Structure 1
């Protein structure tokens, strides 16, 4: 029987990839406590601009910031989703903490995947090139790829670069856009489009059988409001004090 969703992986594998990503969404959205909200320092200078320039009241402002943190966490999981999809293609597998994200089972391909083209600084790019070059030197028949799922153009080309003042090149180290990498692994020029087209259908099918167990509730805002003793102190002042009370003069916000 032909697959319902994608021609290059089974329906079961595709739905399991969607389920795994859904779990990441649920985990990211699950009870964002004040402690979790504060795990990275909150930029209250930026929040002040956001409140004034975007005409947001304080509660909406904090809810927006919580959603931004959730979205950042989910973005990391999108890259894992693509790894799981591509690792389900016959002849390929996921790296599993082995220094690469995707490899051919016959060791003729190794790839490191980034969801967006602009997620690396020069030091990260240098380190990635050196890592891919090491794989290419170790496996003499292997082509090695820096994959940019969301790239500025469609390409599959040798990765030549001047990184941190050094010239880098290797005969079997490439950089490649997401659509071309899907084409390379599947042999289908429209494989990435096929994924895009199938996603809404498969997600609807998955959600139709999903049974939620708990109601999601974020407690961060309520905890911050409680500790501020409203209306004694503004929510933003409470966040600023709790994050920067050790800064000169900031203890006056108490």
Structure 2
């Protein structure tokens, strides 16, 4: 039992331990998939900014290995952002009385159709077209289900709030009496009935992730390690890691062939 007031489960008390670990496993698979698809060829595709890496390594006091790990993580991060939103959808779908439905037009709904939600991980992930589409979708759910309330959820919002979603999008005025926009903390409270539900999830994750990783093989954790590939190539060619990246990206530049 943890020290956050949950009495039955090891991690949080609004979804089962098994469900939370399954959500973590799904997210881990998304990370592995992103790493698997992110090859050295893709890393080099848009050309690595070797000057920025040089400044970063000196000004931020990073080793070459740390520097490249951060750069790889930054680029892979673009692929996993959506997966974080899916993680929240899946966690919330494990709450009694709710289910997630990524391929059914909604991210989360109450089993009695009293609530529908579109879930976004961050407040700035939608452009005007996607915002317009999201509002129209939620308005349709509200119109088709007269006793429902529909929410655009921003898991990571600029403040804690819940309000009617009223906006001018693409020059059109949008408003509906039962369409709301809500921050992640208040939405977790709404569907769990617990004021600090999102905080409890946050505090439970380190232990839950550690427990999950114990079941993952070392081979799988290190799958498609681009850094190892670059490091081996650098060692074979008697170059530093940064020089290896520079050579492989800019061999055709005058003078850079001296890195041979």
TM-score bracket for the superposition, by shorter chain length: 0.7 to 0.9
Question: d(CA) in 2 for partners of 1:15 and 1:235?
Answer: 38
Q: Which structure carries more relative contact order (alpha carbon 8 Å, separation 6+)? A: 1
**1:1-254 to 2 correspondence within 5 Å?**
2-30=8-36, 32-37=38-43, 42=46, 47-48=49-50, 50-51=52-53, 53-55=55-57, 64-214=70-220, 215-219=222-226, 222=230, 235-236=245-246, 238-239=248-249
CA-based RMSD:
3.3
Aligned length: 240
* TM-score, length-scaled by structure 2: 0.77
Question: d(CA) in 1 for partners of 2:9 and 2:53?
Answer: 49
Give the deviation of 1:62 after TM superposition: 5.7
Q: Deviation per CA, 1:144-176: give whole Å up to 9, x if none.
A: 111000001001110011112221100011000
Question: d(CA) in 2 for partners of 1:200 and 1:237?
Answer: 39
* TM-score, length-scaled by structure 1: 0.79
Unaligned 5+ runs, structure 1: none
Is residue 162–residue 182 contact of structure 2 (8 Å, CA) maintained in 1?
yes
Unaligned 5+ runs, structure 2: 1-6
Give the deviation of 1:48 after TM superposition: 4.9
Cα 1:235/1:49, change in 2 over 3 Å: closer
Is residue 168–residue 174 contact of structure 2 (8 Å, CA) maintained in 1?
yes
Question: d(CA) in 2 for partners of 1:195 and 1:64?
Answer: 26
Cα 1:156/1:240, change in 2 over 3 Å: farther
